[in-house]
Chains A and B, each alone.
Chain A
Amino acid sequence: MREAVAAATAAVTALVGDQAARWDRAGRLPEDVVRKLGAAGHLTAQIPTAYGGPGWNSADSGEFTAHVGSLCSSLRSVMTSGGMAAWTVERLGDRAQSAELLPRLASGDTAAVAFSEPQAGSDLSAIETTVTLDGDTLVLTGRKKWVTAAEYADLFLVVARMGEEGAVVVVPRTAPGVRLRRVTDPLGCRAAGHADLRLDEVRLPLSSLLGGGRQPLSLLVTTALAYGRLSVAWGCVGILRACVTAAVEHAGSRHQFGLPLGRHQLVARHLADLWTAEQIAARVCEYASRRWDENAADLGTAIVLAKYVSSGQAANGAAAAVQVLASAGAQDGHVVARAYRDAKLMEIIEGSNEVCQLILADHARSRT
């Protein structure tokens, strides 16, 4: 397993090369980069081997995610979406659906998960997209916002309302009634293919409802987000690693007032804090992944904690890195400039800081 992770790490390093800055400025990943990673199973590394996936555990998948995140947060976002889609199928789908969809996702088909709506961001209980049954077909109508990786996706997993409960519908990009509109100039992860999704009376076979639908909406969302949040958290570890490397290199090579920058105490403090931020984020992610691999009951809390801590550390750490690099890093495309914008977005998506705080406060209260 370790060899497979090392090989995948080397392969993705070679695939990205020095292109991430250009992709960021263009707002677009090359299609063949996404396809190559998908075909190797590296967009969905935790799909079990029984379904043709790499079958990595969360700890290995997390380290790999951090590595991709250190190279390019847009590519890492596409990976987060694919992995979250696969996990959602594995968890909510019946066996026939897993047997049909997971081998596809493990071998190159790409997927995105659609949660947010114009009136349902942090409050996903306000989702208005609705699925109804009409004989042997289902009808899906609604609007989704900011679907990460949508531009690259062959399949959308759409979270919808079904009567009093919820449902996740698997929607092929090519289904009649599906329309995409690209989100222009996003603050961060600019090449992650964010798009808004319009679903006008999309008709699909009933087998498109994961597990037959009518599951509790909050449980569907929490389950899908469990993967997405942990993946984002590891991506933030990667952002911090890239920032540590860039800041240490710059502070060692640039001289001001007759000394390397890093010998000035005020700059040295930035380096210490940045390295500490990376260590904190890595430890909290390692813990959550360990709980995932142990299938521990406190897994959900450990994941929210990891997401909350890592994204905050990444936002602060990236700001410190820009400060150390100063004019050398204050330009779009530069690794620390990207980190600064990407990390801020990480404090918003997959449960904003404030949503995480509410969940953690609720958890703290329930313990006493």
Chain B
Amino acid sequence: MTTSSDTVQTDLLRFLATRTGRTWETDADVFGSGGLSSLFAMELVVHLERSYGIAVRGADLRMDNFRTVLQMTALVERLQQQPTAGDSGGSGA
């Protein structure tokens, strides 16, 4: 199942607003000034995985994939076109 990039963007903006108590532009660096914590980075990864049925692993964990809503949306689009075999099993996050 894939999700349209508009839907992903809207969802991510809502998630960021809920989690940070402020609004964000799609091209704003969420880890820039006043940088969000690494714990939050992990939250973002988990949120993307859970919401879009993708597995963000290995080389995809680069910061450039998470800096802005636009970059995260591109990551989701790319990973939704890949199979996620080998990621089944008991452990979650």
Binding site for B on A (CB under 8 A): 46-51, 53-58, 87, 90-95, 97-99, 165, 210-212, 214-216, 218-223, 226, 292-301, 304, 359, 362-363, 366-368
Contacts and interface: CB of A to CB of B under 8 A. Distances in A.
15 contacts: A47-B91, A48-B88, A48-B90, A93-B57, A210-B58, A215-B61, A216-B38, A219-B45, A222-B38, A223-B61, A292-B93, A293-B92, A359-B39, A366-B20, A367-B21
A162 B1 CA distance: 36
A53 B58 contact: no
Contact of B62 (A58, A216, A298): A216
B39 A56 contact: no
Interface residues of B, number: 32
Given A51-B89, A299-B42, A92 B19 contact: no
The 4 closest A-B CB pairs, nearest first, are A48-B89, A211-B58, A218-B38, A55-B90
Nearest to B43: A297
Interface in B15-39: 15, 19-21, 36-39
A295 B39 contact: no
B92 A58 contact: yes
Given A210-B58, A299-B93, A50 B88 contact: yes
A54 B39 contact: no
Nearest to B62: A215
A165 B43 contact: no
A54 B89 CA distance: 9
B46 A94 contact: no
Interface of B: 15, 19-21, 36-43, 45-47, 49-50, 57-63, 86-93
B58 A94 contact: yes
Contact of B89 (A49, A58, A367): A49
Contacts of A367: 21
Nearest to A230: B93
A315 B43 CA distance: 29
A51 B88 CA distance: 9
A221 B38 contact: yes
A138 to B, nearest CB: 15
Given A214-B62, A292-B91, A299-B93, 9 more contacts: A46-B90, A47-B91, A48-B88, A87-B91, A220-B61, A295-B49, A297-B43, A297-B47, A366-B19
A97 B88 CA distance: 16
Nearest to A93: B58
Contacts of B89: 47-51, 53, 55
Contact of B37 (A90, A211, A292, A362): A362
